[in-house]
Copies of this chain bind each other. A is one copy, B any other.
Amino acid sequence: MEIDSNTSFLNRIPSFMPGISMDFVVFGYKERTLHILMLKYLNTDAWALPGGFLPKDAEMDKVAHAILEDRTGVSNIFLDQFYTFNSLNRGWDCNDVSRNAFEKLRETWNKEEKETLDEWFGQRFISTAYLSLMNAQEVVPDPDYISDDCAWVPIEELPSVVLDHELMIQKALEYIRLRINYLPIGRSLLEEKFTMSDLQALYEAILGRKMDAGNFQRKMKKLNMLNRHEKLMTGAANKAPYLYSINDEVYDRLLEQGIGFT
């Protein structure tokens, strides 16, 4: 399915389920750091997670894929629903950042639009949040109709965000840590070919702790999920590391029962 970008957002409002939205915590990995895909709203300094609404006649998962494909150009995205945020106090007046952002955003609306949009965004929303994983290196994100920037933000330098998006990010981090053994982080977050220390750095970034390189290497090899390729000559004055790629068949099997990896 595709986002219908010929029809204006305003005109599509009646086709959406009222009170239901979706948000996406998209983890990307580059420069050995976890990043999150974020949008900067039009005319503001406020950042937000990508999101969208649910057409009455569409499957939520398909809409989710379509929205993210629209943002990133990537199809075949890994997506996992992780929580539905439902607090009464998660509207645009829940904190200063949101209030200000919403005011600024309203200034970009015409007089005719204002009534409908105010009503729509003023509703109580329940938002189902998805976790997504992609290789930040090869994805150049695009803003949507409501924002003028879309970028990978390093997880250590998160800006102030609107609504309850900070809580969403926090919950997503808990989720990815808890389910690391069941999520295709190796396949979704890395390049096709990677070194063992790339992979280790990824695990360290997610789990937030250092590991022993020797032990990491042995454990990974034992799982039998990696194909070894040629060495990577970086020009650095040290032993050149092997490149690896993922053996999809074995990887899928391991993921099903949970990769045994602490």
Contacts and interface: CB of A to CB of B under 8 A. Distances in A.
Interface of A: 17-20, 54, 56-61, 81, 83-84, 86-88, 124, 126, 128, 178-179, 182
Nearest to A22: B86
List 8 tightest A-B contacts by C-beta distance, closest first: A60-B86, A84-B84, A84-B128, A17-B19, A59-B88, A20-B126, A56-B124, A19-B20
Contacts of A178: 179, 182
A187 to B, nearest CB: 21
A23 to B, nearest CB: 12
Contacts of A56: 124
Contacts of A126: 17, 20, 54, 60, 126, 128
A164 to B, nearest CB: 13
A82 B60 CA distance: 17
Contacts of A124: 17, 56
Given A81-B83, A83-B81, A58 B20 contact: no
A84 B81 contact: yes
19 contacts: A17-B19, A18-B18, A18-B19, A19-B20, A20-B20, A20-B126, A56-B124, A57-B88, A59-B88, A60-B86, A60-B87, A60-B126, A61-B86, A81-B83, A84-B84, A84-B128, A126-B126, A178-B179, A178-B182
Contacts of A20: 19-20, 126
Contacts of A86: 54, 59-61, 128
A185 to B, nearest CB: 17
Given A19-B20, A56-B124, A126-B126, 5 more contacts: A18-B18, A58-B88, A81-B84, A126-B128, A178-B179
